[in-house]
Chain A
Amino acid sequence: MALVLKQVKLSKGGFLLSADFELKTGSLTSVMGPSGAGKSTLFDGLAGFIAPDQGTVEFDGVVLNAHEPGRRPIAILFQDNNLFPHLTAGQNIGLALSHKRRLTPAQMMQVDSVLARLGLEGMAERSLSQLSGGQLSRVALARMLLLDRPVWLLDEPFAALGPSLKRDMLALVKDMAAEVGATVLMITHDPSDALGLSDETILVADDHVSGPFSTKDLLADPPEALRQYL
């Protein structure tokens, strides 16, 4: 039971990233590495936005290579543009459940309860412009919870938040992931985020994904590429 990349080669914009690693289902992992090293490319490959040149991406024994992004057991949060600004908070979350014009009463209750779970009680009707940065992040998390996919990829979705708000959001992610048993990968530039979130970290540097390493050990004695970056 794991997320497995076997001899994967991903190419994007003329550079080639190779990855070969395995993460246990339900584990939390940070992804670190210099800017432009290919962290987002790795996520694009996992989420299905780019197809690997070779190798396989598997989850729980199922090869995902041929699956469209929407048909993978993987949910992703980007740095921005996660939510559609012309829709309300509730409509954005509801898209995780149904693409029909209206939600069923049961689905509406699901939306309301996930909002309440994230401390956004009664905010379904709010337009996004009425919400704060922290609340917007929570809406995006709420949608990810309702999407009900076992793997979560977080591509620095909280980068724009202040330090204490970011800490709160990471704690929330950790709680929720533990609750549903999600496998989480999170890109971060900040060693304290990595230490706070996960025991393990994978490193993307020099066209290669290595690890997972113990986050503590890695940060205590970082390899050259990471040291320069930090």
Chain B
Amino acid sequence: MASRAVSITSAGLVTALVAIPLFAVFSRAGGVASLGAGDWSALRFTVWQASLSALLSCAFAIPAARALHRQRFWGREALVTVLGAPFILPVIVAILGLLAVFGREGLLSQALMFVGLPRIHIYGLHGILLAHVFFNLPLAIRLILQGWQDVPSERFRLAAQLGLGPLAMLRVVEWPVLKKSVPGAFLVIFVVCLSSFAVALTLGGGPKATTVELAIYQAFRFDFDIGKAATLAVLQLVFVGVAAAVLLRLVGAPRADVGLGRDQVFLRKSSRITTALDAGMIALVAVFLMGPILAIVWSGVFELTNLPASVFRAAGHSLTVALVSTGLCIAFALPLATFRAGQMVSLFGFALSPLVLGTGLFLLIQPYANPFELALVVTCVTNALMALPFAVRAIGPAFSQINADYARTADMLSLLGGARWRWLYLPRLRRPIGFSAGLAAALSMGDLGVIVLFADPDRATLPLQMYRLMSAYQMDAASGAALLLLVLSLGLFWIFDRGGRRGVGS
């Protein structure tokens, strides 16, 4: 069948896109002996910060998810929706927002100075942790909330009927739930933070706060030592690869839409004290998440009118990159989502860090062309691969459901190949495709990864241009660019997701 050939070709193409650069990396990498003390400390720091980030996120997420599960209040649904936003929020925008609240000149520092205390020093490990918790706390809350929502409401009713006290409740009802959901959340966050680049680039650095991903970049850009970059890339590949494999084995592929749908509240009797504690926790999370975003909107809105032309040029590049990489991502995701091996292939994007792939692509291109001229093309491809696992994870189950419902009717009508896609699959997959496209577009729009590796002055994307403005201490222009980037990222997601929801028959 023709569609089978397309599926296998796509799987082969994606595998090649990943395997060939990796091969290039391996062939250039030196032995473990060529790594210096600094490289090993980068590795230690990477694992250390990822563990702490995951630990802190989960520690705060447990009481927050529990509060969200048992309390009903005005704006609850909106808050649960907002919990999905950091996933598509450009990292660099969030960092500027965090600086505006927690930075040297930030609101919190000013408040501290007002009462005579020293300013906060955000750069270094605690800055990295702050940013990682900002991004991953919502994810952890959603994962743990989902765990709670999977518990039949009868169990809570039964516990209430038996008059279980808080301790017995913890042992009988809550502990089993947490035991199932928290390790998964911890692992996902750990793996995500292992390949942290943009956060380490902006808030870390220096010998004490360098991740392997950042070390690859530094070997590239500052030492011009491609062999060392390749060696580090192998190190990173092994660590992220093993961690991702463990994650996939234990909890399965991560999804982007977890904990957002099917949201129900089971009223659980709670005392006044627990209600107050819950309210405090929810307020804390809401302020922590909304504060930086509101700070961006507030400081950026007055700068929008006098943004430099370079920002608009960069925005144009970013939009093009985002749309092309969205197209690529969906074009790969559709055939890959249709069979199990294809779904596995899509997971490369999860096990692989962008800078490792970028290093490989650089090595491949270098003998034939100037890699810096191809910066945007490389960014398109890498971003598409990075969004691919989420797209396949959204489309795959929907595809299986369509087959379970309609494959026999379609077979009987001899609706095969392209006609089957046109009449059956595409219209019925509209929603997950729209969601995936929105995700791919927003992720690509906000990406600050390989583009930094390949950067040249003429070909900046908006996140890169923003980073440059920040590095040059042009904070006003950076704020304006941040707001523009925020609006474009969320806007792209909204348009695609909306497009997928419109006109869908029941």
Contact = CB atoms under 8 A, between A and B. Distances in A.
Given A95-B423, A99-B423, A49 B411 contact: yes
A55 to B, nearest CB: 22
Interface stretch (B120-128, B220-228, B402-410): B402-410
Contact of A99 (B406, B408, B411, B419): B419
Nearest to A76: B412
Contacts, number: 57
Contacts of B406: 81, 84
B412 A86 contact: no
Nearest to B424: A84
A128 B427 CA distance: 15
B413 A70 contact: yes
Contact of B414 (A49, A68, A78, A87): A68
Contact of A95 (B415, B428, B504): B415
A82 interface: yes
B409 A81 contact: yes
Interface in B413-431: 413-416, 419, 422-424, 427-428
Interface string A53-75: 00000000000000011110001
A70 B427 CA distance: 21
Contacts of B423: 84, 87, 95, 99
A219 interface: no
Given A81-B406, A127-B505, A47 B422 contact: no
Given A81-B406, A129-B506, A70 B414 contact: yes
Nearest to A95: B413
Interface residues of A, number: 25
Interface string A120-143: 000000011100000000000000
A226 B235 CA distance: 70
B506 to A, nearest CB: 6
Interface string B217-240: 000000000000000000000000
A50 B424 CA distance: 22
B505 A86 contact: yes
A85 interface: yes
Nearest to A99: B419
A47 B504 contact: no
Interface residues of B, number: 19
B190 to A, nearest CB: 41
Q: Most chain-A Cβ atoms within 10 A of its Cβ — which of B405, B414, B422, B506?
A: B414
Contact of B415 (A47, A49, A70, A86): A70
B111 to A, nearest CB: 55
Contacts of B428: 84, 86
Given A87-B423, A127-B505, A128-B505, A78 B409 contact: yes
Contacts of A68: 411, 414
Given A84-B424, A86-B428, A75 B412 contact: yes
Contacts of A78: 408-409
Given A84-B423, A86-B504, A127-B505, A70 B409 contact: no
A170 interface: no
A129 B505 contact: yes
B201 to A, nearest CB: 45
Interface string B360-400: 00000000000000000000000000000000000000000
Contacts of A127: 505
Q: Most chain-A Cβ atoms within 10 A of its Cβ — which of B411, B412, B506?
A: B412
A96 interface: yes
B506 A85 contact: yes
Contacts of B506: 85, 129
Nearest to A75: B412
A87 to B, nearest CB: 7
Nearest to A83: B409
Contacts of B413: 70, 95-96, 147
Nearest to B405: A81
Q: Lowest 7 A-B CB distances belong to which pairs?
A: A70-B414, A99-B419, A86-B505, A69-B411, A86-B427, A85-B505, A81-B405
Interface of A: 47-49, 68-71, 75-76, 78, 81-87, 95-96, 99, 101, 127-129, 147
25 contacts: A47-B408, A48-B411, A49-B408, A49-B411, A68-B411, A68-B414, A70-B411, A70-B413, A70-B415, A76-B408, A81-B406, A82-B409, A84-B409, A84-B424, A84-B427, A86-B504, A86-B505, A87-B423, A96-B413, A99-B415, A99-B423, A101-B422, A129-B505, A129-B506, A147-B413
Given A84-B406, A99-B419, 4 more contacts: A69-B411, A70-B411, A86-B428, A99-B422
